[in-house]
Each structure stands twice: as structure tokens, then as C-alpha cells.
Chain A
Amino acid sequence: MTRSHISETPTSLIEVRQLGKTVNTATGPIHILTDINLRINAGESLAIIGTSGSGKSTLLGLLAGLDLPSQGEVFIQQHALTTMDEDARAELRNQLIGFVFQAFQLLPGLTALENVMLPLELSHRADAEVVAAALLQRVGLGNRLTHTPKQLSGGEQQRVALARAFVTQPRILFADEPTGNLDRKTGAHIIDLLFELNAEQQTTLILVTHDVQLAQRCQHTITLEGGCML
């Protein structure tokens, strides 16, 4: 868990340079992240661990282009995220990135199938329904296609979220505390499923967790404390 894990090859899929995030409050600026540098190669897996408030989720958001840094740069496939507008970043996410959130973030009005179809439909794939149904079958929800999130348990919702994340065969998967809202047994099942799908699709995995055991299943780990990499 030192900087030695960071790849130095020129083919890095993700590259982060002197990244920082500062938030201004009434009592003065708060530095959430300071001077983060890292490189991640295609197919690698990286766990980001740290205590609550150490900046894990903020770093994940910045890596995925969901938020903008106050300082520094993030490159994905040599594209500098800070120079892109929100639409360009959205397109990049659609093409390269999948997400799994702690709170699942499924659209409540859509069925399980429609939720999974959505990323494919956004890239105008004609076979969206077939591909989505197959992936839901793969995660064990073949018989729950028409159920809305409200009709599914927490574990089932997270499996729908996994299917939605992998349905576009993303090059990178960002997972933010994917078991945080689940009990231990269900959480373990979800993690197994996540790593299986990751292996099948050879996705680059960036995982935020505070579970050290889970972090150990990744090839690399970085630890954050007070917004700085240890």
C-alpha cells in the first residue's frame, strides 16, 4: 500500500496529476483532497480505502468525471476530463465507464429491464432489450425483469445496478461502497458477482471501500487520510 503499486507504463488508462479538491464554506476553505497522483493500467483493479471523510468517494467522483477538481488533471485514455464540457464527459462515461453506487441509484419509475437497457439506449443500440435481458439472466434476475425497484430487495436492486454497469461492457467500472447498504451475506454474493463479471469482461475496476478484506481482492490499494494519499 505504497506508491510502488502505481504503474509507470505509458499505456495508462487513467492518469491523475496533482489532483486536489477544495470546498469553500462559511468558516473558510476545506481541502478534501490534496496532491493526488496515480496511474492505472487497463485491466487492473484498484481499491481506495480510508476512514469516513478521508475523501474516497470524492476521488472516485473526480476519476469518473462526475465532478470537477479544484486543482490538477485527470486523464482517461489520454483525454483530459477538465478540458471537456459536461456533455463530452457524459459521452465518455457512456462509452467507457460503468458505475455501481452504495445507494443503487436505479430510476424508480423504470422496471429492472428498462433500467439495464437505458445505457444501451443512450448509445442507440438496437439490441438493447436482448442484451439487457441476457445480463439480468446472468445476475440471477431473469424472472424479475418487469419489477420496479420498489418491488425488489436491496440485494436484488444492487444486482440490477451491476447488470446496468456491465451491460455496455465498459472499460472501467467505478464501484462506490457497493455493499454499504447490504447485509454481510448479500454483500458477499454481490462482491463475488462483481468480480466474476469483472473477470469475464476484463474491466478495469476502481473500488471504494472501507472493508480491508474486500480491498485485498484488488490488485492494488491506495489509502487516503485527510484527503492525502499515504
Chain B
Amino acid sequence: MKALALAFKLLFRDYRSGELSLLFLALIIAVTSVTAISLLADRLQQTMVTQAAEFLAADLVVNSTTPISADIVQMATGLNLQQAQSIEFTSVIMENEQLLLAGVKAVSNNYPLRGQLKTSLSDYATEQIQAHGPERNTVWVEKRILSALNLKLGEQLRIGEKALTISHVLTYEPDKRGDLYSLSPRAMLNTEDLAATQVIQPGSHIHYFWQFAGAPEALAQFKQQLKPLLNPSQKLMDIHEDRPEIGGALQRAERYLGLSSIVIVLIAGVTIAMSTRRYSERHLDTAALLRCLGSTQAQILTLFTWQIILLGVLASSVGCGLGWLLQDFLLHLLASLLPQKIAAPSLLSIVFGLLMGIIILLGFALPPLLQLRKVSALRVLRRDLEPLPASAWLVYGLAISLLSVLIWQYTHDLRMTATIGLSGVAGFVLLYALAYGLLTLLKPLLPKLSLAWRLSLQNLVQERSTSISQILAFSMALMVMQLSYTVKSDLIDNWQQQLPVQAPNHFALNIFPEQVHSVEQDIQLATQGNSHFYPIVRGRLTAINDVAVQRYVTKDSQGQQATERDLSLTWSESLPPDNTLVSGNWWQDKREGVVSVEQKLAENLGIKMGDRLTFTVGSEQFTAQVSSLRQVHWETMQPNFYMIFAPGNLERFAHTFLTSFYLAPAQKAFLNTLVKNYPSITVLEVDQILAQLKTILTQLTTTINYLFSLGVLAGFTVLFAAITASLDQRKHKSAIMRTLGANSRLLNTIHCIEFAGLGLISGILAVCLAESVTWVLYHFVMHLEYHSRVLLWVLIPLSASGVIAAAGYFGLLKVSQTTPMQILRSL
């Protein structure tokens, strides 16, 4: 306790003398940014998951062709989970002598558990948000049902044996899926009316969706207990697995949040490390004096550790408060883009910010503290006596271990932690070696340079260890800024490519070969665009290398889903535009009996190049050899195929065509004409799904842009800390130079050249490192395509040089305006 009291006293004296201001400021900045990002990331992530859960209308869904057992329902009730259900099937509706295949959906009173329904009462009325589905005896329908069946609001629509009053036009349903039941025009009724329709008979093709929502812990427990209870016809769905077009974007956005957090942690660490170094350098004399006065090494260590902890607690508390305000302010800025309800911050992320501050401080302050412990008492007499350096392994090992723990804590992603950690260590060693090499190369050039150039570069070369530590700090800051920018831009580009303007938003299926020409003409006339027609043969994959395919299938896998039903087989002369060949070649010499397989399905079923696949079409069996594997971007929501054959292999089988096209909202009436002219054609509308997707991607983009700005802001704090940390030494040199007669112009030139040089070297190293980390991240973690940005190779070193030179110039401007005596006395 005595040590704590003494530590507090000394700390207060340090504070009074202004010694603590810089470290305190650096800590506050670091903890503020860490807390803000931690809270922001936590809240946005929770919000994103909640928002994304809308796409399922629940947190978890069990999809089944039969009602689920009472045990499951009871288990969910026991865990306090909210429950709802929807039942989907197709049904032919006839009104006013018109027939229409409708996607009927019966929903329970609690539906939807997540998200909302939207309806309108006329073309011109604004949309109304509905928390729940139709009342008993009423039905909500999409507008196309009204126009196709010549119906109006308030009239009766008969579904099976039950006549229901059309009370609303349904304009939005959160969990609309891209399958036949969902994409035929929707009629929504209450489950309590379902029995009266008498549509559901034994053997009817029906999909039950049992929906659950609740606390994350309860959901996790439910999921775990539920899995063994499900039979093969029942499937558990959550947002990551079952909406790949959303899940992929969400996962990448979550990783970007993780990456941003790491960036901030790294930067905060470097900022604190730079400031702590200055703090410990300034405390060498105190440590020496304490040794003279009889303190043991252990006492000195205890004393300084207490001081650091006290400082950490104080500054972190202030930082936490400011961080809270900052994230609140940022969320306020984002308010118009985010869903109305933002998830509440968890207490853990607030406390985590506080702990973070203290842990980072100790991680970076402990090694210099260990140095202070070793200060010789003789230093009191000889001020130039340096303490024994702390082991580099100890310093960097401790810092890297702590950072790795923090990164893991933030991301809960071992792979990402390992990737960042290992590339961080490799990058650090590489940076050190490169900086050392570059400075060594400069040395022989010095005698040939003019005085200002020589003196400034001499500073860099002679004080190599100081220069390298600054270069490392600058490079690190610049690297993370570039990394944030690159990943951000590529993510956004990737999403924009996923959803280009006027991406096809309608599918037409079951087009007979003789209809292709006229359908193509009609579509062209209506949309002013060209559509590609894909032939479709329905067939089943039955064996791989003559072994029944069931032997290769694992439960609930993509392979199981693909082999338990008919696949859409197609042929094509060219590789579809969204597909990428990952092995093999597109059709060359051999065109007979060859097939190209989608890569993920191939992995799932263990299909390799050259394997013989057996297919059954109708009653006929045939084989084909795998000649290539393709990567398919399913998230683009374009027609994509597991199996593509070379032309000439499938033409003999009965086939229909599939096409996709873009239709603006105003052109919707064309769909009725199309269905009327070609009754066999099924039209699927994915425009609503695309609109949903666009909304969520826009929100993610905005969020990521703000996170990036925070990263840049944090980057500037490290630049500031690194420059400030070296000011004492530079002020001292400048004061001596002024004493010897150097004028302010010469001093300013020297400072500019020196800092510009530091910036240039740091910029070059930062670009090298950032590009390497980006490649590793894209390749192993984010699964994005890597491409180098040439402009950054020029822009980063030059702008770093300019910005750091300006910061250094202004930081030292005071030196030329203060008398040498004042400077020498203040140091």
C-alpha cells in the first residue's frame, strides 16, 4: 500500500510538471478510439445480424416438409424463444375465368419475428408497415394477382374451398426466397384459415417454416440441442448458411469490422509504445536517483508499475467516456442509413475498452519499465550512461503476444488472428531489415551532399535505432491506413459488381425450343435489352466413377441437396461471364462426353478432374468425364449451373430454356402479357430480393466508410505521437546548432528534409507491407480477388513524405522562435 501511495504522489508530481501530458493524451486518444470502435463494431454487428435476420424473418428457422415434433416446440418454449410459423405451397387460383399459379403462404399470428411486412391500399398510397400478417378471413396479395385475375381490394379471392377478402396489397415480405413457392405471385393468409381451404391433403407438396427468435445464448443452446433431433427432411437455416447472397456480404463486412478493430488496436499500441518510450527515457534520472537513495530493483519496478497502472486506469476511464460519446455521435450520423432500432451496447464492450487501455499500456510500458529498473546509480553522476537494453525478444515478444490475444478477443477468428499475427511478425522483421538497409545505403552518399541535406540525413543515419523505430511507427500507421482503404474499396467494388445497375431481376423458365425466338423478341421489345437463353435438361447425378453418388454424400451437405433432386443440366459454347475456370480447360479437342463441374459441389462430393460422372435423364443413363472445374458467383443471383456440358451432348434429350432479364418497376405489366401469350412459361420475380440486398449492401458500405475514417484518424494519432516522441532530441540538437550560429532557415530546411526522408522511406515500406498483407488477407481470409493499385505506390510515399514533413516542420517551428537558452533549460 505504501508503494501505491508513493506511486500516486510521484505520478501527481509528474502530472503537475507537465511530464505526463503527452502519454496521458496518447492513452486517451488510443482508448477513445478503441472504445469507440469496439462499441461501434459490437452494436453494428449486432444490428447487422438482426437486420440480416429479417431475411429469414427470424433468427433460426427449421424448414421441413412435415410438421415438427412437439418436443422441439417444447424445447423452444423452455428456452423462452419466440416462435412463429409459415406454411408455403403453390396453388392454382381461378377467378373471373382466369387461372394463375400462386405462391400461397399461411402465416401464424406472431409472424414475422424479425423484420416487418409492408402493404399498400392502392397504386398511389404510401406503403404501410405491418408488424403481423393478415387477420382471419382476409388475404393479402401481390398486385400481379389483382391484375392477372381482374380483382380489386375488398373483393373475394377463393383459395381452395375458402373465400377470403382481399384486404391489402402485399408489397414487401422479409423472408421472400428465390424458389418457386416464393417467386410465384404471393397470396398470404392466416394459418387459422388454412384448414378451411382444404388445400392441404396427405401427400401435398408443402414447406413448413418453423421460426424462432431470442437471446443469442438461448439460440445457441437451442441450435445445439436441436440438431440431433432433426430428421433428414428437416433442415436448420440461419442467415450465414441459407442466404448466401446476404451471408457472403455479411461475413465479409463482419471481417472488415474485425479488421478495423485490429487496425485500431495496433495503432493504439504503437501510439502508446512511442509515448511510453519517451516517458521512460525522461524517467531515467528518477530511477537512477531512487537507486542512489537505496531503492532496490524490485522496489523501483513496483513503483513504476503502480504508476503505469494508475495512469492506465485514469486515462482509460476518460478514454472510455469519450469513446462512448464518439460512437454515439457516429451512430447519430449514421442514423438515416441504419435500421430504426440499433442494438444496445453490451456492457462487456465498454469494460473491454477500459481493460484494453490498461493491457496495451502494460504490454508496451513493461519492457521500457524493465529498462528503468536496470538504470545504474552512476547515471546521477554521468548523464550519458544508458541503461542496459531490455531483451528485444522480451519487448517484442510481449507486445506481439498481447496484441495477438487482443486480436483474437476481437475477432474470435483463429485463422484471421494467425494470419495477422504471422504476417505482422514477418512484416516487422522485413521492415526492420529494409529500413536498416536503406539507411546504410544512405551513409556513403553523405559527404557528397550540401550542408542541409548532409546534416538532416546524417541525423537519420547516425541515430539509426531512433530512426528505425520512427520509420516502423510511421510505416505501421501508413500501412494500416492503406490496408483499410484497399479492403474497403475492394469490398465495395465487389458488392457493386454483385449488383450492377439493371442487373436482371426476372427469370422466365419452361420456355420450349420453338418459343425461344418469339419470347426473345417480346422481351427485347419490352426491355430494350438482349437476354441470354440457357437450355435446361432435367437430370440426376447418380454415380461418380461408377460408385453410387450416395456413398460420397454427407448429411445436410450441398452434395446431398444436389443429388437428391433433379439438377438443371445445360450446355454452352462459351464459359458464362460470371464463372471462372479454376482447373482444366474450356472445350478444346474433346467435346463429346465432357462436363464442367462447379468447384464447391466438386469439393463436397470429392469429384476430381478426369472423374467419370453418370447421369440419368428420364430412363436413359449416360456418362461424362470432368474436363474442368468452375468457380461460380452464386451471390450475383444470375442463372448459374452445377453442370455445364459441351454442345452436342444433351441436345437429344427433351429440353426447355431459361432466361433472365431486367424489368423496371413501371414495366411490370409485361409479365402478365408474357404469361398470357405463353401459358407454359413460369416467371420468377427476384426484383424484391435484389432491392433488399441493395439496401443491406448500401448500409454495410456506409458503415465501412465510417470505420475506415476512424482508422485513418487513428493513423494520424500515431504519426503525431511518433513525431512528438522525437521532438526533445531534435529540439536539443537545434538549440546547440542555434548556439553555434545556425539560422532558422537552415534549421527548418534540415527538419523538412529529415522528416520528408522519414516519410518517404516509411511510405515505400508501408506500401510494400500493405500490399503483402492485402494479398495474404484476400487469399486466405476474405476470398477477394487481389489486384495491385499502381497509383498507391506513388501516392502513399509522396503524400506520407509531405504530411510528415509538414507535421515535423510545424512541430519544431517553435524551436526557431524560442531562445536557445530556454530550450536547453527546458530539456
Contact = CB atoms under 8 A, between A and B. Distances in A.
B462 A122 contact: no
**Size range of the chain A interface in the assembly:** 20 to 34
B792 interface: no
Nearest to B736: A105
B741 A93 contact: yes
A164 B459 CA distance: 19
A178 interface: no
B746 A122 contact: yes
Contact of B744 (A86, A108, A118, A148): A86
Main DSSP-derived SS at the B contact region: helix
Contacts of A202: none
B741 A122 contact: yes
A91 B739 contact: no
B383 interface: yes
Contact of A67 (B458, B462, B746, B819): B819
B590 interface: no
Interface in A164-183: 164
B740 A109 contact: no
B821 interface: yes
B816 A86 contact: yes
A159 B240 CA distance: 75
Nearest to B820: A66
Given A66-B739, A66-B820, A90-B742, A149 B462 contact: no
A68 B462 contact: no
A123 interface: yes
Interface centre among A91, A105, A109, A122 (most CB of B within 10 A): A109
Contact of B741 (A90, A103, A154): A90
A64 B738 CA distance: 12
B123 interface: no
B741 A109 contact: no
Contacts of B742: 90, 94, 122
B736 A107 contact: yes
B822 interface: yes
Contacts of B820: 66-67
Nearest to B446: A114
Interface residues of B, number: 27
Contacts of B217: none
Interface in B138-183: none
A68 B820 CA distance: 10
B384 A90 contact: no
A91 B458 contact: no
A119 interface: yes
Contact of B738 (A90, A106, A164): A90
Interface string B439-476: 00000000000010000001100110000000000000
Interface string A64-88: 1011100000000000000000110
Nearest to B743: A87
B737 interface: yes
Contact of A119 (B462, B740, B745, B817): B740
Contacts of B816: 86
A72 B245 CA distance: 81
Contact of A150 (B384, B458, B744, B745): B384
A91 B743 contact: yes
A93 B459 contact: no
A13 to B, nearest CB: 18
Interface string B712-746: 00000000000000000000010011111111111
A93 B821 CA distance: 13
A160 to B, nearest CB: 13
A187 interface: no
A192 interface: no
B739 A123 contact: no
A119 B821 contact: no
B55 to A, nearest CB: 62
The 7 closest A-B pairs by CB, nearest first: A94-B741, A109-B462, A67-B821, A66-B821, A61-B821, A87-B743, A93-B741
16 contacts: A61-B819, A66-B819, A67-B821, A68-B819, A86-B819, A87-B743, A87-B745, A92-B741, A93-B739, A94-B740, A95-B741, A105-B736, A114-B458, A122-B737, A122-B742, A164-B740
Interface of A: 61, 64, 66-68, 86-87, 90-95, 97, 99, 103, 105-110, 114, 118-119, 121-124, 148-150, 154, 164
Given A67-B819, A87-B744, A90-B738, 15 more contacts: A61-B819, A61-B821, A67-B820, A68-B819, A86-B738, A90-B742, A107-B737, A108-B463, A109-B462, A110-B462, A122-B451, A122-B737, A122-B741, A123-B741, A149-B384
